[in-house]
C-alpha cells in the first residue's frame, strides 16, 4: 500500500496523521509520502519520525478584504501544480488530508489526478479547508457526531481520532507518579494548556496556588515551554510539595493512565486521548479558534456526562478549585470516567486504516 498524507499547521492535524501512519506500518508494508509546508511544525515532526517529507508553500485566506488573498490564490495554484508533480512521482494508491491549509492543494491535486482521496476532520465544527475539500474527496472521516451533518451524507464515515488508539497502547507504568515526585497514595491531577501553554489557565493556577497547596490532592502543573521561566518567577517562594511545576510532559498518555483527572484546552487530540483512557476532564476551551470549535468539542462530552467545562470568561481561582474538588468525589469521578470511555474511540486508527485500504484498493 502506498499512501500520501498531508496535514499541517498545528499538532492537532499532524499527530493524528503520524498515529495513523505508525498503525498502518505496523500492520502491513506501507510506503508513505508526507506533504506539508516548509515552515509548519510538520517540517520538523515528520522527518524526525523517519517519514519522507516534501513541502509546498501555501497560506490561509484573510477574513477581511486583502490583497494578500490574491497572493494566496496564486500560491494555491502553484502548490497544486507542485503537489501533482510529487503525486505523479510517488504514485500513491490513496491520499489522506488531516487538516490545515496545506491539505487544500494536495487533496485537490489528487482528486484532479483521479487518485482516491479521504479527508479527516478532527473537530466538531469543520475547518475552512475541509469544507472546501468535501466536494472533491471520496470520503470524509469524522470524530464527532456533530460533524456528520456538515458533510455530504454519502461520503461521511465515523472513525474517531487515531491518537486515541496510541493513547490506549501507551505503557501502563504506575511508578511514573513517583518519578515525577508524587505520593502515589494521594490523587494526582494534571493541569496543562497544551505544549505551548495557555496564559489564562496559568493565571488561574497562580491565583489558586495558595489554596491548592492546602488540598489533599496533588497537581502536576504543566505551564507550557513558552511560559515556564516567567511562571517560575511568579510562583510563591514556598513552592508547595504537592504541586510540581514542569514546562512540558514528553509522553502524556503514560502519565494520564495514572491520574485522577485532567484540566486543559478542548483540542481534538487532547479529547481523543482523555476519552480513550477514561480520564475525567475539565475542559477550558480556547475562544480564539475558528468558529469557537473547542467550545463545541467540549460541549459534546459535557452533554454525555463525560466531562466538565469552564468557559474562559468564567475561569478564575474559585471555579478552577471547585472543578477539581468535585472530582474528589470518587463516585462522581468514576461515573465520568466510565462515560468518557463509552464515548471514546480506542479503535480509531484501525477504522481509519480500513477506510483507506478500501479506497486504495477499489
Binding annotation for UDP-N-acetyl-alpha-D-glucosamine: 10-12, 123, 195, 294
Angle at 315 between CA 123 and CA 246, to 5 degrees: 80
Instruction: Quote the CA–CA distance of 25 and 230 in Å, as a whole number.
Output: 42
Give the span between the Cα atoms of 348 and 158, in whole angstroms: 9
Distance (Å, whole) CA 251 – CA 336: 23
Q: Is the dihedral of CA 277, 282, 288, 291 positive or negative?
A: positive
Q: Are 221 and 191 in contact (CB under 8 A)?
A: yes
d(CA 113, CA 173): 47
Do 283 and 255 meet the contact criterion of CB atoms below 8 Å apart? Answer: no
- Going from the C-alpha of 272 to that of each of 118, 182, 210, 279, the distances in angstroms are 20, 26, 32, 11
Give the sign of the dihedral formed by CA 323, CA 326, CA 330, CA 335.
negative
Query: How far from 156 is each of 101, 118, 119, 144, 312, CA to CA, in Å?
Result: 21, 10, 10, 11, 32
CB neighbours (10 Å) of residue 301? 25
Tell me, what DSSP letter sits at residue 143?
S
> Binding site, residues?
10-12, 123, 195, 294
Helix, strand, coil percent values for the chain (each to nearest 5): 45, 15, 40
Nearest-10 crossing angle of helices 293-302, 268-277? 20
Amino acid at each position: 500500500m502506498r499512501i500520501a498524507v498531508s496535514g499541517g499547521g498545528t499538532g492537532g492535524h499532524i499527530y493524528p496523521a503520524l498515529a495513523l501512519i505508525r498503525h498502518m506500518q505496523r500492520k502491513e508494508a506501507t510506503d508513505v509520502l508526507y506533504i506539508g509546508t516548509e515552515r509548519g511544525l510538520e517540517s520538523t515532526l515528520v522527518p524526525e519520525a523517519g517519514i519522507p517529507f516534501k513541502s509546498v508553500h501555501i497560506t490561509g485566506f484573510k477574513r477581511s478584504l486583502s490583497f494578500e488573498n490574491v497572493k494566496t490564490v496564486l500560491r494555491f495554484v502553484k502548490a497544486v501544480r507542485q503537489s501533482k508533480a510529487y503525486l505523479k512521482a510517488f504514485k500513491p494508491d490513496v491520499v489522506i488530508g488531516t487538516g490545515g491549509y496545506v491539505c487544500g492543494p494536495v487533496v485537490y491535486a489528487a482528486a484532479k489526478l483521479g487518485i482516491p482521496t479521504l479527508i479527516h476532520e478532527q473537530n466538531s465544527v469543520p475547518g475552512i479547508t475541509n469544507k472546501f475539500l468535501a466536494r472533491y474527496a471520496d470520503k470524509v472521516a469524522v470524530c464527532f457526531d456533530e460533524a456528520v451533518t456538515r458533510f455530504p451524507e454519502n461520503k461521511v464515515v465515523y472513525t474517531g481520532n487515531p491518537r486515541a488508539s496510541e493513547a490506549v497502547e501507551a505503557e501502563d507504568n504506575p511508578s511514573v507518579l513517583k518519578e515525577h515526585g508524587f505520593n502515589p497514595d494521594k490523587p494526582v491531577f494534571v493541569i496543562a494548556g497544551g505544549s505551548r501553554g495557555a496564559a489564562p489557565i496559568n493565571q488561574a493556577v497562580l491565583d489558586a496556588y495558595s489554596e491548592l497547596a492546602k488540598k489533599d490532592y496533588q497537581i502536576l502543573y504543566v505551564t507550557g515551554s513558552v511560559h515556564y521561566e516567567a511562571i517560575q518567577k511568579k510562583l510563591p517562594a514556598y513552592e508547595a510539595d504537592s504541586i510540581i511545576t514542569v514546562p512540558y510532559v514528553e509522553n502524556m498518555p503514560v502519565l494520564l493512565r495514572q491520574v485522577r483527572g485532567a484540566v486543559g484546552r478542548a483540542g481534538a487530540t487532547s479529547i481523543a486521548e482523555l476519552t480513550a483512557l477514561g480520564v475525567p476532564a475539565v475542559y477550558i476551551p480556547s475562544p480564539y479558534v475558528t468558529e469557537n470549535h473547542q467550545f463545541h468539542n467540549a460541549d459534546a462530552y459535557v452533554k454525555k456526562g463525560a466531562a466538565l467545562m469552564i468557559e474562559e470568561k468564567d475561569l478564575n481561582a474559585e471555579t478552577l478549585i471547585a472543578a477539581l474538588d468535585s472530582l474528589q468525589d470518587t463516585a462522581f469521578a468514576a461515573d465520568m470516567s466510565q462515560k468518557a470511555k463509552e464515548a471514546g474511540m480506542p479503535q480509531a486508527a484501525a477504522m481509519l486504516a480500513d477506510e483507506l485500504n478500501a479506497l486504495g484498493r477499489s
